[in-house]
A and B are shown apart, each in its own frame.
Chain A
Amino acid sequence: MVDQSAVGRRFTPVTAHVEAGRLRYFLDTLGETNPVYRDAAAAKAEGFAAPPIPPTYLFCLEMLDNENPFEFLTALQIDLGRVLHGEQSFTYHAPVMVGDTLTFSPQVTSVTDKKGGAMTLIGVETAVTNQHGVHVADTTRTIVVRNG
């Protein structure tokens, strides 16, 4: 079982590229037709130099360009089949657009046992910066591990 010794642990930073074609595949999958995410002129009309990414896409970028997307689970010896997503949040500080290169730096911030140890909640916070060193976002997720 994951214990308090995991708190503060950092994992390999991930560098991810916001690619137009890959983003289009994501938009098509969700049936997203808002032109701001697809069309440079529509994006410009809303004040973006290039199409911005939709609200949850940061989560995807961190996994898409991760050489070891389940590093965190492997390192903490957590079985992939026992993991559920408990909570997710995004705080946006500056726009992220097609063409950007982002760096994700994840860190375990909390480990909490629930239901007498039947479940463990693991909090992970990730700071996201772009190619200019601008801190563009923070994401937090809570992973639920079913123990036993």
Chain B
Amino acid sequence: MTDTMDMTTSPAVGDRIVHKRFPAINRHRLALYCGASGDHNPIHVDIDFAKASGFPDVFTHGMLVMGYLGQALSDAVPPGRIRSFSTRFAAITQLGAEITCEGQVTELIEAGGERRARLALTARDQTGEIKLAGEAIIAV
């Protein structure tokens, strides 16, 4: 097994090539992400709006966590080799969450005239709960 992507040799099924941990998500980060992403839904930054919508507090944009997962992915795989990237938002990510992103090769395939690998990706919080479960296809 390897822990970084070596593009001179093909990865093998089981290789854990994606791993990155991110700092705890605070309100400031959500405010910055609101502006940076163009997602101005107040539910992520305005506690009054969140409570009126039935939530105890504001919560993280799913796409902020997917942004972390994408960062962990492109730390391991050059961006020009990423063919697709998808995720399911399995649970709401609360304030204070410390996200760890991981990815493992699950399959080697031929598609689009090239050799590709399928990666299974997860983003978990500090309790180990899966927040995002996703997949990427990369050229190898």
A residues in contact (CB < 8 Å) with B: 22, 25-26, 28-32, 34, 36-37, 46-48, 52, 54-56, 59-66, 69-70, 80-92, 95, 140
Contact = CB atoms under 8 A, between A and B. Distances in A.
A48 B36 CA distance: 23
Interface residues of B, number: 43
B95 interface: no
Contacts of A66: 38
Contacts, number: 121
Contacts of B68: 30
B47 interface: no
Nearest to B31: A29
Given A46-B80, A63-B38, A66-B38, A55 B88 contact: no
Contacts of B67: 26, 30, 32, 54, 56
- For the residues of B in contact with A, the DSSP-based class is helix
- For the residues of A in contact with B, the DSSP-based class is mixed
Nearest to A79: B53
B80 A34 contact: no
Contact of B71 (A32, A62, A80, A87): A32
A83 B89 CA distance: 13
Contacts of B52: 81
